[in-house]
C-alpha cells in the first residue's frame, strides 16, 4: 500500500461496480478480492488517496474518475441517499470505537483504523445535506477522541500528507495515548 496500488485496485473495482451499487439497497457492497466493501465513503477515500499517490494522469485513475462522475450525475438522489445512510452507520461505528478505546489499555487500540473511520466521516460530510450532518453529535464524539490522543506525526504515508491537511484532518496527526483516569 506504500505506492497506492491497493487504493487504485479498489478504486477501479469500485468504479466498475458503482452503477449496480447505487441501484441496490445494500449499503456495504462486497467487492470480489477486496477487503473493504464498496461504499461512497470508501470509494471517495480511495479516490483521494490515489490522486495523492499517482496524480490525475494515470489512465486507470482517469477512467475510474469518469465512471464515478457519470454515476454520481446520473443517480444523484441514490448517491445522496447512500452517502447519508453511510454517514449515520459510520457515526454509530465511531461512537462504538470511541467507547471501546476509552475502556482498553494502550495496546488494545488500532488508532490508524479509528482515524480512517473519522476521515470517512469527514469526506461524507461534503456529500450529504448540511442539516443531516449531526454536527453536534460529531463534535461531541471528537471531544471524546481528543481525550484519547496526543499530537504526533502523520498516521499514513508521507505522500498523502498534502491531500489531508491538518486543519481539516487533525485526527491524522495524532496517536492513541489514553490518559489514566
Q: Write the DSSP assignment of 131-153 as a string of letters.
A: GGS-HHHHHHHHHHHHHHEEE-S
In whole angstroms, give the CA distance from residue 173 to residue 53: 19
Average pLDDT over residues 135-145: 89
Going by C-alpha positions, the residue among 98, 91, 122 that lies closest to residue 176 is 98
**What's the pLDDT score for residue 58?**
82
- The pLDDT score that the predictor gives to residue 133 is 54
Distance of CA 138 to the CA centre of its chain: 15
* Mean pLDDT along residues 57-68: 91
- pLDDT recorded at residue 78: 97
pLDDT per position as a tens digit, 67-117: 999 999 999 999 999 999 999 999 999 999 998 887 755 556 789 999 999
Domain ranges of the chain: 5-76, 79-176
Strand partners, 29: 38
Q: Quick: pLDDT tens for 7-28.
A: 999 999 999 999 999 999 999 9
Residue 2 confidence class, pLDDT cut points 50, 70, 90 = low
Share of the chain above pLDDT 70, in %: 91
Nearest CA among 53, 31, 58, 33 for reference residue 42: 31
In the predicted model, what is the mean pLDDT of the chain? 90
Output the pLDDT for position 155.
Answer: 95
Q: Is the pLDDT of residue 64 over 80?
A: yes
CB atoms within 10 A of CB 170: 17
Reported pTM? 0.91
Predicted confidence band at 165 (pLDDT cuts at 50, 70, 90)? Answer: very high
Helix H or strand E encompassing 32: none
Amino acid at each position: 500500500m506504500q505506492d497506492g496500488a491497493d487504493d487504485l485496485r479498489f478504486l477501479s473495482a469500485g468504479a466498475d461496480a458503482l452503477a449496480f451499487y447505487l441501484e441496490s439497497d445494500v449499503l456495504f457492497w462486497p467487492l470480489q478480492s477486496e477487503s473493504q466493501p464498496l461504499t461512497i465513503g470508501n470509494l471517495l477515500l480511495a479516490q483521494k488517496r490515489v490522486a495523492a499517490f499517482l496524480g490525475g494522469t494515470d489512465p486507470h485513475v482517469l477512467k475510474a474518475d469518469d465512471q464515478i462522475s457519470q454515476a454520481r450525475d446520473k443517480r444523484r438522489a441514490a448517491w445522496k441517499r447512500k452517502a447519508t445512510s453511510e454517514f449515520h452507520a459510520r457515526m454509530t461505528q465511531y461512537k462504538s470505537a470511541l467507547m471501546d478505546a476509552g475502556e482498553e489499555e494502550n495496546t488494545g487500540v488500532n488508532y490508524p483504523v479509528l482515524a480512517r473511520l473519522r476521515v470517512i466521516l469527514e469526506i461524507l460530510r461534503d456529500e450529504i445535506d448540511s442539516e443531516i450532518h449531526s454536527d453536534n453529535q460529531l463534535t461531541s464524539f471528537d471531544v471524546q477522541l481528543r481525550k484519547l490522543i496526543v499530537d504526533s506525526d502523520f498516521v499514513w504515508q508521507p505522500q498523502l500528507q498534502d491531500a489531508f491537511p491538518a486543519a481539516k484532518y487533525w485526527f491524522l496527526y495524532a496517536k492513541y495515548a489514553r490518559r489514566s483516569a
